[in-house]
Structure 1
């Protein structure tokens, strides 16, 4: 059963209590090495850190893991990068599940048709897409949001996700390369959106207040929508 937003844990670095949706768990493996437990389901002693690459780097630097567990632990120097790769893998696997469930379409023509119908819950664009190709998708998506606003539709939000390369998306979906894709409503697609949010939040750049970071995942998912 998924943890709710109300479930909280203590960040071992900042000592702040936060919802688990804003944290990531690390677990001590049988070999004494700390590894990211991105699903927060692994057995063993765990340490929670804010879902933030800089925070994980600081936790490594300040030896937070060993201090929290009160024992000697091995912490890989590349733990921040390893954690990002694990979060990317979870998102990629989720996209593969969307394909099996029939909740994702690919290709510019099919994606434009879905945009025209409004029957999508997220637009995906490869990070290496051309500016022209990107604008041809983002324009109609903006129009959807403007239309919903004019009609007074509350809570309408179709995020624009740019987190993966065309090669990464292609591998996840069993295709050569994927530049444009769209998610349709369904359990698999909603799960993929949550994994995208966590990856976006972890990768976010800093210089923001803690209160601003509460919304940073949504900001990145809506990249270019302002």
Structure 2
């Protein structure tokens, strides 16, 4: 996977629902805990036999409906009908945590004027990369920031209240995160979250020589 854009590459896994091979970076592993309950292993560190599913709400719903977890884990398990909602909530929390981490690391700029100035300075210095984070209900003037965010991932997935809580404010609408490990983690988690809720996520297309002008607008993945 590209460290910044999260574009798929690297190892692949078999999606247990439809047997298709999917890049591991676009999948989620599930295991059974000691009481036989199916839980998502979002960090990829839980012990035991695992089940890999595409990172999408449809994949989880079908896996629960078709008893895929019991079949793949080869044991009796309990799969909560609301498992997809739980995964969405956990992914959302993991995404928002990156905003807090970036702030503590001095890698987050908050506020419209501050973000606009940071984007302008990056453009003047020939720098690209990073993430422009906009609240889902950002005002129309956010379009000015989108146009200035050349070479950056544009992410509009969170409420202004959720964003604000990460930096000790009541609300936050505009933020810019420097390129680096924290930004890459946010993009990777957001790509997975995109399979569970609908939001805008625009990724610069860096796979072609003219990537600076191209973008890839992410869509929700579905498993039939």
Specify the TM-score bucket, using the shorter chain as the normaliser: 0.7 to 0.9
Match of 2:31 in 1: 27
The yes-or-no answer on 1:66 pairing with 2:70 is: yes
Equivalent pair of 2:27/2:192 in contact (CA under 8 Å)? no
- Cα shift at 1:202: 4.3
Equivalent pair of 1:36/1:86 in contact (CA under 8 Å)? no
Equivalent pair of 1:8/1:20 in contact (CA under 8 Å)? yes
Q: Which ranges of 4 or more aligned residues in structure 1 deviate by more than 3 Å?
A: 201-205
- Deviations along 1:173-194, one digit per CA (max 9) or x if unpaired, are 2222110000112322222222
Using a 3 Å threshold, how does the CA distance of structure 1 residues 171 and 18 change in structure 2: closer, same or farther? Answer: same
C-alpha distance in structure 2 between counterparts of 1:34 and 1:116, whole Å:
47
Equivalent pair of 1:24/1:38 in contact (CA under 8 Å)? yes
Match of 1:219 in 2: 217
C-alpha distance in structure 2 between counterparts of 1:140 and 1:19, whole Å:
31
Higher mean C-alpha displacement, 194-203 vs 85-94: 194-203
- Deviations along 1:62-82, one digit per CA (max 9) or x if unpaired, are 111011112110011101111
Match of 2:165 in 1: 171
Residue 114 of structure 1, aligned match among 112, 118, 123: 118
Residue 138 of structure 2, aligned match among 109, 121, 129: 129
Q: Which runs of 5+ in 1 are unaligned?
A: 146-156, 206-217, 222-226
Aligned length: 193
Structure (1 or 2) with the greater strand fraction? 2
So what's the TM-score if we normalise by structure 2? 0.79
Equivalent pair of 1:57/1:80 in contact (CA under 8 Å)? yes
- Cα shift at 1:42: 1.0
So what's the TM-score if we normalise by structure 1? 0.78
Match of 2:209 in 1: none
The yes-or-no answer on 1:196 pairing with 2:190 is: yes
Q: Which runs of 5+ in 2 are unaligned?
A: 200-215, 220-224
